[in-house]
Structure 1
Amino acid sequence: MNLLNKFLPNKRTFNLFVMFLILSFSGCFMVALRTLITLNSNYFFLIWNLFLAWIPLFLSLILIVEEIHKVAKIFFGVAWIIFYPNASYFITDFIHISRGGYHLSSHTGIEVVVWYDFLMISLFVFTGLLIGFLSLYLLHKKIEKKIGFHAGWRFIIAAEILSSYGIYLGRFIRLNSWHVVTNPYNLVKSVLWSFNFETLIFVIILSFFLTLIYIALYNISQLSKQNNY
């Protein structure tokens, strides 16, 4: 139990952890149900992406533990930067609805499946973003406590810019976090060739969007600290 308390520092974090598990299992159930009804397993990739989205949260829970050695913190910190984009990557999965290739016997049937897919992907997007933002929030508060208020927000901006670039590499260059280990040469080459005006615009827009959402959720989280609530 002491180990659990180290990695889930308070009751609210634990409750969010449980809520995210419920959301995750709900998303997996929707994928399984769709596969069973349509006999099409095309959306199983959402479950794998969800697994990847959980990794930065576990890494951030490790990083906020005081007893972790400095060298280990550097290792897990780099790993967090590499895997954090997976949590927000779900946003780009909406593109699969337009590429659906729906072939059913009636137009009404197609509409039902399209709306089901939209809600299913939305659940994964919502879950992935919340998991990622909790991971980000834990490190934000840790850095703010150790270094200061402004350092905490500089970290947020830098994290979302790097995350947006990672999402660009994943969606358009088709790279993933594992390439750091499995194919580092191709990763470096692809990164060097990816810098262009399109990349810049994508990263600016997406990082601005993600930062705004984080700020909104951050301010909501602070409401309970006000005397009026």
Structure 2
Amino acid sequence: MINKLKTMGRLNITILLIAMTLFCFAISITRYLITGTKVFLFLNWNLFLALIPWTISSLMLIYNLNKKPPLVLLIISWVLFFPNSPYILTDLFHLRLHGSAPVWFDLVLILSFAWTGLVYGLTSLMDIEKMLSNYLSQKWVNTVIVSFLFLAGFGIYLGRYLRWNSWDIIKNPLGLAVDIIDRFINPFSHPRTWGMTLLMGILLNMIYFSIKFIKVKPELKGI
């Protein structure tokens, strides 16, 4: 496994993500030991959900599961879990609800989880983009990626305000479908749905393409 990660140039980011995850776990446990309150321990579960899309895309790359039939099914599975990665950003809503620790400590704690979850998600999205590039032109790849990020914004709304999660596609598909269809049939009755989807989608696109462009090393001329 390590050799495969080295070959793919993925070992460093994997080690970094493991270290970031351990830091998140450690700081949440530290808060619990100091304050005796469990209010932010749930972030560890949210982070576990956030690494699922990264795990799916990593296995797809490592085991070369990018042939058309399994690729479509695996990407559908990936899409269902992808919103869990940026979802932790919304846990900032909890920042001032619990005063058992200094606000600055809780800010660092939540941002650590949020950023780690985001890196899991965006890394996996880059994996998906790479695999799609084998079948689609760059124009269509970009269109799909932008769409995925807006879908993530919609998924974040479903999780934060309607309390649906990825498992409900199996546990309660009818109830989930009713809520989703209602928002498409009666869009003007749900302004918060589309307001959050739009703004969160724009934010996620800004973050993703900013990181993507920063990764591109410009040619240094005349130096």
TM-score when normalising by structure 2: 0.89
* Partners of 1:8 and 1:61 within 8 A in 2: no
Determine whether 1:193 maps to 2:182: yes
Q: Which among 123, 126, 149 is matched to residue 134 of structure 1?
A: 123
1:8 and 1:69 map into 2 onto residues whose CA distance is: 23
**Once the 2 structures are TM-superposed, how far is the Cα of residue 83 of structure 1 from its aligned partner?**
0.1
User: 1:91 maps to which residue?
Assistant: 89
Q: Indicate how the Cα distance of structure 1 residues 32 and 95 shifts in structure 2: closer, same or farther if over 3 A, else same.
A: same
Identity among equivalent positions (%) equals 27
Structure 1: how far apart are the matches of 2:14 and 2:206?
23
Q: Secondary structure at the match of 2:48?
A: helix
2:80 to 79, 82, 91: 82
Query: Closer, same or farther in 2 for the Cα pair 1:131/1:8, shift >3 Å?
Result: farther
Distance 2:22 2:60 in 1: 26
**C-alpha deviation, 1:138, in angstroms:** 1.1
Structure 1 residue 15 displacement after superposition: 0.6
Asked if 1 retains the 8 angstrom alpha-carbon contact of 2:96 and 2:103, the reply is: no
Which deviations, in whole Å up to 9, do the C-alpha atoms of 1:156-175 show, x marking residues without a partner?
11100110000000000011
Change (3 A) 1:147 1:221: same
Show the counterpart of 2:51.
54
Classify the secondary structure of the residue corresponding to 1:76. Answer: helix
Instruction: Give the partner amino acid of 1:61.
Output: S
Distance 2:171 2:156 in 1: 19
Instruction: Find 1:157's aligned residue among 137, 146, 160.
Output: 146
CA distance in 2, matches of 1:183, 1:191: 13
Asked if 2 retains the 8 angstrom alpha-carbon contact of 1:52 and 1:83, the reply is yes
How far is 1:136 from its partner?
0.4
Structure 1 residue 9: Cα displacement: 5.3
Structure 1, 69-78 or 19-28: larger mean CA deviation: 69-78
Letter in 2 for 1:204: L
Q: Are the equivalent residues in 2 in contact too, given 1:57–1:134 (CA < 8 A)?
A: yes
| Residues in 2 aligned to 1:137 and 1:178: alpha-carbon distance in whole angstroms | 24
Q: Report if aligned partners of 1:97, 1:114 keep a CA contact under 8 Å in 2.
A: yes
Residue 88 of structure 1, CA deviation: 0.2
**1:10 corresponds to which residue?**
8
List runs of 5+ in structure 2 lacking aligned partners: none
The 2-side partners of 1:149 and 1:227 are apart by 25
Partners of 1:9 and 1:219 in 2: how far apart? 24
SS in 1 for 2:54: helix
CA positional deviation for 1:72: 2.9
Using the TM superposition, give the Cα deviation of residue 217 of structure 1 relative to its aligned residue in structure 2, in angstroms. 0.4
Please tell me the residue identity of whatever aligns with 1:207. G
Q: Which runs of 5+ in 1 are unaligned?
A: 104-109
- Asked whether the 8 Å contact 2:58–2:124 carries over to 1, the reply is yes
CA RMSD of aligned residues (A): 2.1
Find the partner of 1:31 among 25, 28, 33: 28
Higher helix share: 1
Task: State TM-score, norm by structure 1.
Answer: 0.87
Distance in 2 between residues matched to 1:9 and 1:175, nearest whole Å: 39
Amino acid at match of 1:98: R
